[in-house]
Amino acid sequence: MPDLYEVFQRKSVTDPMVHAGSVEAADPRMALILAKETFFRREHPAGIWVARRDDLHPLAETDVLEPGSDKSYRAIEAYTGIAKKRQEVEERLR
């Protein structure tokens, strides 16, 4: 019986793999061969991967992915202008 395979591609060898879609196939080889013409007739990626959907393990408890209390201090945006602030403090202390 066929399995579902998730198909991933990247534009160049230095790009990250990105999900492209899924195909039905009897084994990984068939999935790769069929994915090529199913998704890449017009595009020409640098590489493709397939993985059996059953071998992927989604986290069921998606609530833990949501933010709880204010965690803005963990975000890069919270630290914009630091160099300038530091310069001002250094000048004040001189």
Partner 1 sequence: MTSTAALEPAAREALVAYLLPWADDELILGHRDSEWTGFAPMLEEDLAFSSIAQDEIGHAALIYAIVAELTDGNPDHLALRRPADAYRHAEVVEKSNGDWAYTIARHYLYDQADAVRLEVLSASTYPPLAGIARKMAREEHYHRLHGEMWWERLATGSSESRGRLIDAARALAPLFGTLFGDTDGQEILLAEKILPASPASLYLAWRDQARPLLVALDPTLGRLLDGAAEPGRARPVSADFQALHAEMTMVSASGLGERW
Residues of this chain that bind partner 1 (CB under 8 A):
2, 23-27, 29-30, 33-38, 41
Minimum CB separation from partner 1 for residue 36, in Å? 7
**Are the CB atoms for 40 and 63 separated by under 8 Å?**
no
For the CB of residue 30, give the shortest distance to partner 1 in the complex, in Å.
Answer: 6
CB of 2 to partner 1, least distance (A): 7
Q: Which of 51, 46, 44 is nearest to 22 (CA)?
A: 51
Cβ-based nearer residue to partner 1, 46 or 89: 46
Shortest CA distance to 48 belongs to which of 58, 61, 34?
Answer: 34
Handedness of CA 69, 74, 77, 81 (dihedral sign): positive
Report the residue number, 10 or 38, with the smaller CB distance to partner 1.
Answer: 38
